[in-house]
Amino acid sequence: MFISNAYAQAAPAASPESGLLGMLPLVLMFVVLYFVMIRPQMKRQKEAKAMIEALAKGDEVVTAGGVIGKISKLGDNFIHLEVAEGVEIQIQRGAVTQVLPKGSLK
């Protein structure tokens, strides 16, 4: 009497375009993630690999542990690093984090 009956409306048929538009934000988020995080990380890894491959005898380097020394011998996987006169340590190539300019060590 005072309240009218409410009838459900028929739902419109889902079109294929609405599915693509629904995935658009997800695709955009992945593209942004690629350019902000993944691509710069790959670039840093490539630069670090090139630096490690270019090591030569006499280079002054810093290791991951903070040890500074001069390369005295090179191997395939290991480096002999002279940290003081007559004191040599053996480290892995991957432990080198930075190559210092010549003459940094006195």
Q: Where are the domains of the chain?
A: 16-54, 56-106
Give the pLDDT confidence score for residue 32 in this predicted structure: 95
Per-residue pLDDT of the chain (106 residues; tens, 9 = 90+): 678 887 777 766 656 667 778 889 999 999 999 999 999 999 999 999 999 999 999 999 999 999 999 999 999 999 999 999 999 999 999 999 999 999 888 7
Enter the pTM of the model: 0.68
| CATH class in words for 56-106 | mainly beta
How long a stretch of residues is the chain? 106
Question: How do 60-63 and 87-92 pair as beta strands?
Answer: unpaired
State phi, psi for 82 to the nearest 5 degrees: -90, 110
